[in-house]
Amino acid sequence: MTTTNSSAATASKNPLHIPSPFRADEPDMTPEQKEQQYVHDVYQVIAPHFSATRYKPWPVVEEFLKDMPAGFVGADIGCGNGKYIGVNPKLFVVGSDRSSNLIDICGERGHEAMVCDGLALPYRPEFFDFAISIAVIHHFISPERRVAAIEEMLRVVRVGGRILIFVWALEQTGKRDFDKNVQDVFVPWAMPKKAEPRRDRTRNTAQEGRRRDRVNATSRSGEASLSGSMDQLSIQDGQPSTLSTSNISAPVSMQPALSMSSSSPSSSASAAALAAAEPVSVSASSSLTNADALLTTQESRAENMGQTTAAPVFNRYYHLFHKGELEELVTRTKRAKIVQTGYDRDNWWCIVEKTSHK
Amino acid sequence: MRLITHNMLQCHVKGCNANNFPLELQEVVLEQEEAELNEDFLRNMLGKLEYEALVATCLKLDINDLPATLPADAAYNDEFLQILHRVILETHIKSGKMICPNCQHIYNVRDGIPNMLLAEHEV
């Protein structure tokens, strides 16, 4: 049912928009380490660009929020840039996300939001009238952790309260072309070469003078290098990063954005190059975890696009849900009923109602 | 973060299940910011608020406007709702620390954003 193995060679032939089977570089990694590396670290880095592409509310979510009685209090778990928080101004919605960079964007927009983990919500039990989880629990690495995420939402919602959950569908037929036999996948996120996220432009300007460490990195194959677009990126993170990495050990000491310049091809592997080069400039307590997985220069660029340099590509872990799978997870909690289900925009969704306290 | 949010937060360190609310505020910088009054929201909050904790927290922040006990007619007491609105929705914690009264875990608030992430061993 689930395939998690594939040779690197096979994966490397995928064009930019095609996911590859998920494969952890270190098989012994804990689920937490995998999610840190293949989800949290990625969103932290792609946050500005990700946010710039996330502005239009999905109709099902919008309707769910607009149908809520005035004055209801809701939690948006995994709120990203907060695009749903203000959809219905008659509600009070608190957003939360693992990515402090995405939560910073919520803060700038005046939304109520905090940094926290979906498996350990900091809220009093049964506080909320409703919750939403939009495109979030497909990032948890095991069925147990997906159920735990649903249970944690049920904990903070009152009896009778509803939760709207969206997850990516295995059966989708949009622009992604998924192998219907592979549920656990890497989905690439390509940074545009000219990404100019609003907030980071400001930040980088202020830090321009201090940015002097340039890291030359090349792809695994050594055929192409990272483009200068990484200059736009900033890893700025106050959250604990617990993953010690085998590939990247450079001390993390400087505030400036992670910056990598275009360079002539070299033969070294990407992560090794990063580790061996000048100190990688990543701020504070966050370490750049295993850049080998975090950042793969995708094969499609140079060869397929006829360009000499390429946008950096980040692989995010996804579990693709087959029809009925989300409902099955909800049923396992034994304290919720399914009110409505559907398929929309490449996602399975369902509305869950909490039926009992425990 | 608004004061209402402080009232919904509890410590969630693994095993810290008692006396973990409310988080004690320290070194707090406050800011007032006007917001539209939403009576439906305020009435809904009356059933959710830990009122005693709210009053105690406010007193430590030198906010003395709230009555010590929730008025019996709170839901339709315009004057009270106005005060409640100002306190829980218009009063923002811009920075500070929130400390668990039980396990002493410190959660920081920076730029108005609480960081409630725990280290792996605390989850």
Give the pLDDT mean for B4-20. 96
A85 touching chain B per CB within 8 A? no
In this prediction, residue A349 carries a pLDDT of 98
Position B100 pLDDT exceeds 70: yes
Give the pLDDT mean for A182-192. 81
Q: Between A217 and B72, name the one with better pLDDT.
A: B72
Percent of chain B with pLDDT over 70: 100
Position A113 pLDDT exceeds 50: yes
Give the CATH number, domain containing residue B31.
Answer: 2.20.25.10
Position A198 pLDDT exceeds 80: no
Closest residue by Cα to residue B91 from A94, A116, A112: A112
CA separation for the pair A112, A99 (Å, rounded): 15
In this prediction, residue A157 carries a pLDDT of 98
In this prediction, residue A194 carries a pLDDT of 54
Question: Using 50, 70 and 90 to split pLDDT, how confident is the model at B5?
Answer: very high
In this prediction, residue A158 carries a pLDDT of 98
Range of weakest confidence among A92-101, A145-154, A286-295:
A286-295
CA separation for the pair A164, A312 (Å, rounded): 33
In this prediction, residue A195 carries a pLDDT of 45
Which residues of A are less than 8 Å from B21 in CB distance? 124
The chain B residue lying nearest A92, using CA atoms, is B41
**What does the pLDDT look like over B17-43, one tens digit per residue?**
999 999 999 999 999 999 999 999 999
Distances from the Cα of A86 to the Cαs of A62, A75, A134, A181, B88, in angstroms? 10, 12, 15, 38, 18
Question: Whole domain around residue B9: which residue ranges?
Answer: 3-122
Overall number of domains in chain B: 1
A117 touching chain B per CB within 8 A? yes
B123 is written with which tokens?
């989850």
In this prediction, residue A255 carries a pLDDT of 28
Structural domains for chain A: 1-188+316-358 (3.40.50.150), 192-310 (no CATH)
Element (H, E) at A333: none
A140 touching chain B per CB within 8 A? no
Q: Cβ(A337)–Cβ(A352) under 8 Å?
A: yes
Percent of chain A with pLDDT over 90: 42
The identity of residue A286, as a single letter, is S
Where does residue A296 fall: left (phi above 0), alpha (psi -120 to 50 degrees), or beta otherwise? beta
Closest residue by Cα to residue B77 from A116, A60, B69: B69
Closest residue by Cα to residue A133 from A152, A107, A106: A152
Which residues of B are less than 8 Å from A70 in CB distance? 38, 40-41
Percent of chain A with pLDDT over 70: 62
In this prediction, residue A310 carries a pLDDT of 64
A176 is written with which tokens?
């992604």
In this prediction, residue A16 carries a pLDDT of 60
In this prediction, residue B80 carries a pLDDT of 98
Position B82 pLDDT exceeds 70: yes
Question: Using 50, 70 and 90 to split pLDDT, how confident is the model at A193?
Answer: low
Q: Between B77 and A296, name the one with better pLDDT.
A: B77
Position A293 pLDDT exceeds 50: no
Q: Between A28 and A231, name the one with better pLDDT.
A: A28
**What does the pLDDT look like over A149-177, one tens digit per residue?**
999 999 999 999 999 999 999 998 877 77
Which residues of A are less than 8 Å from B12 in CB distance? 120-122
In this prediction, residue A26 carries a pLDDT of 74
Is B2 in a helix, a strand, or coil?
strand
In this prediction, residue A235 carries a pLDDT of 34
Give the pLDDT mean for A168-193. 81
A144 is written with which tokens?
């147990």
In this prediction, residue B108 carries a pLDDT of 97
Position A1 pLDDT exceeds 70: no
**DSSP states along A161-174:** EEEEEEEEBTT--S
Q: Cβ(A157)–Cβ(A336) under 8 Å?
A: no
Closest residue by Cα to residue B103 from B26, B29, B23: B23
Max Cα–Cα distance, chain A, nearest Å: 62
Residues in chain A, total: 358
Q: At what angle do helices A100-108 and A198-207 cross, to 10 degrees?
A: 110
The chain B residue lying nearest A111, using CA atoms, is B1
Q: Between A298 and A176, name the one with better pLDDT.
A: A176
B115 touching chain A per CB within 8 A? yes
